[in-house]
């Protein structure tokens, strides 16, 4: 089983090198790594160009125009060839060592999709606003789709590659998460959650999602539940 790891990057010059090293250290899993830069402006591209020389086994893609995380993932997914696909944010909030747990659950539980839940695992340094926003969006997801998730907004969604590559992703920003969850559930795929570790960062440290994205995510859930 091959895992495709898609890393969307935007202005992550302080973390991208360490993150890539952490992903590559998971050497007991067959994987391909695809890094997609969303037209960074802080010097990240220069670092990626150097990393590209040092890591010929990694695919690097450079977008010319910044269009958001959803658009970046749409590009990255088109380059995947793995049996399963996972998204890895470049900011060190999520630990790539949890890949093993997600893949093990996939094999043992015989489910279609595995979500890594921050709220059933160990999470640190999450702001109250971010915590409440995640909880509300997850509750709305459960109500609309009749499921019992604890963390809809998690970055770690282990999904079948064939399913991901056939998707028409319409969301360009952080509303990608509710869109992909809605489409997974409407397709009848079974989701299993497992606890993962998470260490949040603040906006001063580079976190980009805001309360406005939370409002957008709410409308996205409703839109893809009833109208798409």
CA distance 49 to 54: 9
Query: pLDDT tens for residues 68-85?
Result: 999 999 999 999 999 999
- The arithmetic mean of pLDDT across residues 168-177, rounded, is 82
pLDDT value at 157 more than 90: yes
Q: What is the pLDDT of residue 227?
A: 75
Strands 3-9 and 59-62: unpaired
CB 114 within 8 A of CB 102: yes
The yes-or-no verdict on residue 174 having pLDDT over 60 is yes
Average predicted confidence (pLDDT) for the chain: 90
Token pair, residue 25, equals: 């250290």
Count of C-beta atoms within a 10 Å radius of residue 216: 16
Q: What is the CATH number of the domain that holds 75?
A: 3.90.550.10
Number of domains in the chain: 1
**CA-CA distance, 179 to 221, in Å (whole number)?**
7
Give pLDDT, residue 50: 98
Domain containing 130 equals 3-226
Helix-helix angle 211-226:176-186, to 10 degrees:
20
174-184 average pLDDT score:
89
């Amino acid at each position: 089983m091959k895992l495709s790891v898609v890393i969307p990057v935007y202005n992550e010059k302080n973390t991208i090198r360490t993150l890539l090293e952490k992903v590559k250290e998971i050497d007991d899993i067959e994987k391909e790594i695809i890094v997609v830069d969303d037209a960074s402006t802080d010097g990240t591209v220069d670092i990626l160009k150097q990393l590209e020389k040092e890591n010929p086994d990694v695919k690097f893609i450079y977008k010319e125009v910044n269009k958001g995380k959803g658009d970046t993932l749409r590009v990255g997914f088109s380059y995947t060839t793995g049996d399963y696909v996972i998204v890895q944010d470049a900011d060190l909030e999520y630990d790539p060592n949890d890949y093993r747990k997600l893949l093990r659950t996939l094999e043992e539980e015989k489910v279609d999709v595995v979500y890594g839940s921050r709220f059933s695992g160990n999470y640190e340094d999450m702001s109250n606003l971010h915590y409440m926003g995640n909880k509300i969006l997850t509750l709305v997801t459960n109500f609309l789709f009749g499921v019992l998730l604890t963390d809809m907004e998690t970055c770690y969604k282990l999904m079948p590659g064939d399913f991901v590559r056939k998707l028409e992703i319409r969301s360009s920003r952080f509303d990608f998460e509710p869109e992909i969850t809605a489409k997974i559930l409407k397709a009848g795929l079974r989701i299993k959650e497992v606890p993962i570790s998470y260490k949040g960062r603040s906006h001063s440290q580079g976190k980009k999602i805001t309360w406005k994205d939370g409002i957008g995510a709410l409308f996205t859930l409703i839109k893809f539940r009833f109208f798409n």
